Amino acid sequence: MEWTDTALVLRVGRFRETDLWLRLLSCHRGVFSAFAFGGSRSRRRFCGCLDLLNTVSCRVKSTRNGSYLALQEGVLIRGPRRLRSDWRRLGIAMNCARFLETLGVTREGASAAFALLEDVLELMEGESSPHPLFPLFFRLRLASEQGFAPTLDKCGICGTRITAPGRFIVNEGELRCQNCHTTRGRYIVDIPGRALDVLRIVQQESPALWNADGLSLAERRCCARVIDEFVQYHLGIAWEEGRFRRI
């Protein structure tokens, strides 16, 4: 079987002298692995486009017994420039890409995940300085789009709209209003109103609007804790010692 799709390069590894192994995020098929035989040499078939975070139009073929995919041809659509020389921005973009790869993306979620990562890469090329919490915000947004959306606008029990501070129940993935407060359980985080506003923006708006500059240190820590605990509990992914780990 052979198909062509637009894909983002998430990871590149070399095996044997001229062959490459890649992880890609396809616009229609989600995350997949493929070999590119002769990938580090063949300018005719790959035009030197198999670099990290490049967007590539690729032609892919599965082997006769279907045991692996092989990249037949790649054409560069666009590649980041600023990221290649700005280590901080590259670190943020790679952290987002690694999280996406660890979570995995199904066919159903592929186009949303692809558009989100493209938005992130476009933002990193621009002038605005990404907030230090950006990688965490990305985790919340991607999780929300891939079917793990915490409810951050109303009480999970009575449905009352919550605008002020809310009590977040991590294991339920939802807020409680003052009337339905629960005091038991380990997984409780009280979220100040302004932090809640920022988390809602992250869930709904473009990455260009994700900003925590107006928050106090305590409010930022609260955002980080909510996202971190939510992702660990519901997606089983922890960020430890510089890498994502399935727990």
Binding site for Zn ion (CB under 5 A): 155, 157-158, 160, 177, 180
**Residue (158 or 208) nearer to Zn ion, CB:** 158
**Residue (112 or 180) nearer to Zn ion, CB:** 180
Identify whether the C-beta of residue 89 lies closer than 8 Å to the C-beta of residue 129: no
**Residue (70 or 188) nearer to Zn ion, CB:** 188
Dihedral sign, CA of 226, 229, 234, 236?
positive
Q: Are strands 55-62 and 69-78 parallel, antiparallel or unpaired?
A: antiparallel
Gap between the Cα atoms of 209 and 141, Å rounded: 12
**Residue (13 or 159) nearer to Zn ion, CB:** 159
Tokens of 128: 């605005």
**Minimum separation from the CB atom of position 157 to Zn ion (A):** 5
DSSP annotation of 50: -
**Minimum separation from the CB atom of position 112 to Zn ion (A):** 30
* Consecutive H or E run containing 103: helix 87-103
Gap between the Cα atoms of 193 and 45, Å rounded: 54
Gap between the Cα atoms of 222 and 228, Å rounded: 10
**Residue (149 or 180) nearer to Zn ion, CB:** 180
Query: What DSSP letter does each residue of 145-162 carry, written as one string?
Result: HTT---EEEEETTT--B-
**Minimum separation from the CB atom of position 150 to Zn ion (A):** 16
**Minimum separation from the CB atom of position 15 to Zn ion (A):** 55
**Minimum separation from the CB atom of position 224 to Zn ion (A):** 26
**Residue (50 or 152) nearer to Zn ion, CB:** 152
**What are 204's strand-pairing partners?**
none
**Residue (52 or 152) nearer to Zn ion, CB:** 152
User: Residue 157 corresponds to which amino acid?
Assistant: I
Mapped onto helix, strand or coil, the DSSP state of residue 188 is: strand
CA–CA–CA angle 89, 90, 93 (5° rounding)? 85
**Minimum separation from the CB atom of position 153 to Zn ion (A):** 12
**Minimum separation from the CB atom of position 176 to Zn ion (A):** 6
